[in-house]
Amino acid sequence: MISTNYSEEIVHFSLQDLNDAEAKQRLPTIIYLTFLVTFGGIGNSLVLFIYGFKYNPSNLRCYVLCLAVLDLTACFISMPSEIVDNVYPHMFYSEGFCKFSRFIGDVSKLGSAFVLTVMAIGRYRKICFPFSEDMSLKTAKIMCVMAISLSVLLSWPTAFIQGQSIEHFPGNITGYGCTTDDDYRPTKYPFVQATVLLVTFAIVFCVLIFLYGRIIWELRDHFRTNRLMKLENGLKRRKHTVTKIFLCLTIAYIVSYIPHLSLNAVRTIKRGDVLPPSPIVLGLFPLLFRSYFINNVVNVIVYYIGDSRFRKECYRLKQRAAAMFCSRKNIDMELHIDRSTKAVLLG
């Protein structure tokens, strides 16, 4: 009995050593994700608060709030799960959390893609067909709901395909990773699901590039024919600002997803690792595979730079927070002085 306990303890520490060695190589990815969780959580919470309570109902507000919810979901569920996966690459014991977080991750990625497509369609109609009827707020809300629903529909197989994978190491050591579930690994389903997602993203990218290409071309024609002079007055200037914000959000989305989708495409085609494991591969590739998380953080920066009203509201919140802090500090100081005075008088 003593021998058995001793043997199990050796296995435990040996697995811990293997886990810690790989986690150390993944330290850049852990730092990167920790920064994104912190900045993204705070930033998207600000977006949700300011656009939710300081802006009047509009299509812009609807889209921004929808993206903020998706971004916060990624910051509070997907990113923490990825941090755990990188800190415990061989000791990820919670299969339920693995499946749930990977499913939510795909919903967030696809949901953002579809919402950006809805935004692009709205801009395309407004710029390229200025005399057509604008998309109503009710229609915009319905389109956002449909975008999220479609992302759930395409992502649900992930909840089954992704899961716990048992890893065997020399010395009769058994590890547990969060990757393709062992029950589905020999089947064609992981390849089919990965292909469907890649094709979906490729179609979305092509649609976004086409729509914004047409928008940019139309705006150039406006400048050339001086038709823009009519539109620079009143609300039209705001409309062009909104178009620039939407375009920047789309560019940021595409750029942040290129490394992830490129590596994912190679891994899907090869049906295995992109490159043999090495210190450089283990240090760099986990980070590149998670490049898409930048998109869940960069939107806040786009709003801050492109929307002067959002910038002013952030500044006001900062002033209020500073005033509350200073007021609290003064109250504490007065209480301390009052207690000290009483102590001297009583003494």
Nearby residues of 163 by Cβ (< 8 Å), 6 or more positions away: 95, 98, 99, 178, 180, 181, 182, 183, 184
pLDDT at 283: 75
pLDDT at 65 over 90: yes
CATH of the domain at 101: 1.20.1070.10
Residue 3: the pLDDT is 39
> Does residue 167 fall inside a structural domain?
yes
Read off the pLDDT of residues 116-129 as tens digits, 9 standing for 90 and up: 999 999 999 888 88
Query: Is residue 182 domain-shared with residue 326, that is, in the same domain?
Result: no
Number of domains in the chain: 2
Pick the closest to residue 145 from 113, 111, 121 (CA basis).
111
Same domain, 65 and 85: yes
Three-class SS state of 322: helix
Tell me, yes or no, whether 134 and 251 share the same domain. yes
Grade residue 50 by pLDDT with cuts at 50, 70 and 90: very high
Together in a domain, 265 and 326: no
- Please report, for residues 6, 25, 324, the alpha-carbon distance to residue 320 in angstroms, rounded to integers and kept in the order given: 59, 43, 6
Please report the pLDDT score of residue 37 as a whole number: 96
Confidence of residue 135 (pLDDT cuts 50, 70, 90): confident
Residue 5: what pLDDT? 43
Q: Is residue 3 part of a domain?
A: no
Residue 214 lies in a domain: yes
Task: Assess whether 264 and 325 both reside in one domain.
Answer: no
Cβ proximity of 158 and 166 under 8 Å: no
pLDDT value of residue 326: 72
Report, as an integer, the average pLDDT of 290-308. 93
- State whether 344 and 258 are in the same domain: no
Which position has the higher pLDDT, 10 or 248? 248
pTM strictly above 0.95: no
* Same-domain pairing of 294 and 314: no
The range of the structural domain enclosing residue 141 comes to: 10-305
| DSSP codes joined into one string, 90-140 | TB---HHHHHHHHHHHHHHHHHHHHHHHHHHHHHHHHHHSTTSPPPPHHHH
Tell me what pLDDT residue 1 has.
35
Q: Does residue 1 lie within any of the structural domains?
A: no
| Cβ pair 239, 281 in contact under 8 A | no
Q: Does one domain contain both 197 and 335? A: no
pLDDT at 221 > cutoff 80: no
3-class SS shares of the chain: helix, strand, coil, % to 5: 80, 5, 15
pLDDT at 178 over 70: yes
Task: State whether 112 and 180 are in the same domain.
Answer: yes
Domain assignment present for 331: yes
DSSP element (H, E) containing 165:
strand 162-169
Q: Phi first, then psi: what are they for 226, rounded to 5°?
A: 65, 15
Task: Supply the pLDDT for residue 335.
Answer: 55
Is there a single domain that holds both residue 295 and residue 204?
yes
Find the mean pLDDT for residues 133-162.
94
Pick the residue with more confidence: 273 or 182? 182
Closest Cα to residue 195, out of 265, 259, 107, 110? 265
Q: What is the pLDDT of residues 26-38, one digit of tens each?
A: 999 999 999 999 9
Picking from 3-12, 24-33, 160-169, which range would have the lowest pLDDT averaged per residue? 3-12
Question: Do 342 and 288 fall into the same domain?
Answer: no
Q: 136 and 177: one domain?
A: yes
The separation between the first and the last C-alpha atoms of the chain, rounded to the nearest angstrom, is: 68
39, part of any domain: yes
- Is the pLDDT at 227 greater than 90, yes or no? no
So what's the pLDDT on residue 20? 92
Rounding to the nearest 10 degrees, give the CA dihedral for residues 276, 278, 282, 283: -140
- The residue ranking higher by pLDDT, 230 or 80, is 80
Q: Which of 6-10, 168-172, 309-313 has the lowest mean pLDDT?
A: 6-10
Task: Indicate whether 157 belongs to any domain.
Answer: yes
